[in-house]
A and B are shown apart, each in its own frame.
Chain A
């Protein structure tokens, strides 16, 4: 295989990596906000349960969580992901959709928990005076949060969020543990044909991706620097 062929072959896996990355963000960011609300809830049982979930999810390796999500339904004779695999294969010809969805669930929940702590820190760092100012100006709680609190929270959480997002790019490689053909697994497959260099070459894809994200986050930070707190 020449360089171009290898590149195309790796790109195939990279597509899946990107898809997993994008979908995880789309799901975990709002889910993380929801979880942060739960952990901050004044209703004690809600906050307690949310905190325990965050503790478990952050306390167990993501790789193990992928295994758990994918294999545990089988113990109950309800191998949902195999069924999804079959369903998609029969109807659309797409392979391994069940595995992909299992990984997506694991990633989304895992990252949502990390994001929830970032959001919680951001929200709690807004001075109480901002809420009081909104209150005496007759704003509703919703208006206060959306127009006054959230924009300030976003500015504060850009740096820690960018860290998590960059980690996510590389964590996608974990999905190969249940044989989702992402970038590294594609590179590994080539080892069967005695090609080792594609494995190292795959690092370039991650580097470029993270480079673009770094530029993007720098741009966002700059955009939000029009005011100081």
Chain B
């Protein structure tokens, strides 16, 4: 069974049909890139997977768990969405780092919140205890909290070293280049250990000389066997990094297959035309 199964996703904005029934599958460890001209629905598809938009119909199953079901969408609670969406990570085109936190805090803030929530629940169960027992349990919890928090910090540092920012821990986003900011954003998504990491045009907001460092990090992630979905305009990169390519046009999957098939032997004339127009840019 595939890790991710997406069936029949549709999405309308007002009268405009942006997605007209998207189906695809993705296996564990695979990298899927989604290409297509602007307005073809690539980004909307990614946002639907991450619950930033709610699709109108369709179904998303991840690792056997139903992530989205068009028939149940009114019934699902915010709390459940919050839990389900953590199965996927998302790196934005415009980074969206938290400007008031330094690099390290940008990475640790979310896992710290999650850990504190769990500890709070445990604290509640302790409050039922009495006397000596309670005191002991409290001390233990305090110790565990310190361990967990320092564990998160250690992990964050490791992740930041992996994306090449080990020397920028205490910098603020405004002091970093776009490429560095995007790598912080990748680290921030990675630390939550999503089953699938999604990238929404991760290099589109970058100066050309800075795209390389970001693409290199993504390539390293692929080598680590990470499952990823990448929406990109970097055709050369898409060709070399993907296991699978989807070409989207006007809200449908116009063509899908291996990068070799899509880039070297496209069948659909629309794909051919798109690739021809993208050709002069970078491959």
Chain A interface residues toward B at CB < 8 A: 127, 129-130, 132-133, 135-141, 143, 147-148, 151-152, 155, 226-229
**Interface-located stretch among B69-77, B94-102, B253-261:** B94-102
A127 contacts across to B, CB distance below 8 A: 96
Residue pair B94, A227 in contact (C-beta under 8 Å):
no
Q: Decide if B89 is an interface residue (CB 8 Å cutoff).
A: yes
Is A138 in contact with B86, judged by CB distance below 8 angstroms? yes
Tell me whether A155 and B100 are in contact in the complex, defined as CB-CB below 8 angstroms, given that A135-B51, A137-B188, A227-B174 are known contacts: yes
Since A139-B110, A155-B100 are in contact, a sample of 20 more A-B pairs with Cβ atoms closer than 8 Å, ordered by chain A residue number, is A127-B96, A129-B94, A129-B96, A132-B92, A132-B96, A136-B88, A137-B109, A137-B110, A137-B189, A138-B82, A138-B83, A138-B86, A138-B110, A139-B113, A140-B82, A152-B100, A227-B172, A228-B99, A228-B174, A229-B174
* Cα–Cα distance between A147 and B114 once the two chains are bound (Å): 13
Q: Mark out the residues of chain B between 5 and 64 whose CB falls within 8 Å of any chain A CB in the assembled complex.
A: 50-52
Tell me whether A135 and B99 are in contact (CB under 8 A): no
Q: Roughly how many angstroms separate A132 CA and B188 CA in the complex, as a whole number?
A: 14
The one of B78, B90, B99 in contact with A229, judged by C-beta atoms closer than 8 angstroms, is B99
Interface size class of B (residues with CB under 8 A): 20 to 34
The 9 closest A-B pairs by CB, nearest first: A137-B110, A133-B96, A129-B96, A228-B174, A136-B90, A138-B86, A227-B172, A151-B100, A227-B99
Q: Are A129 and B100 interface neighbours, CB within 8 A? A: no
**Could you name 23 residue pairs across A and B whose Cβ atoms are closer than 8 Å?**
A129-B92, A129-B94, A129-B96, A133-B92, A133-B97, A135-B51, A135-B85, A136-B89, A136-B90, A137-B188, A138-B83, A138-B85, A138-B86, A138-B114, A140-B82, A147-B109, A147-B113, A148-B98, A152-B99, A227-B99, A227-B100, A227-B174, A228-B174
Taken together as a complex, chains A and B put the C-alpha atoms of A125 and B96 apart, in Å, by: 14
Kindly list chain A residues whose C-beta atoms are within 8 Å of the C-beta of B88. 136
Is B221's CB within 8 Å of the partner chain A? no
Closest to A129 in B: B96
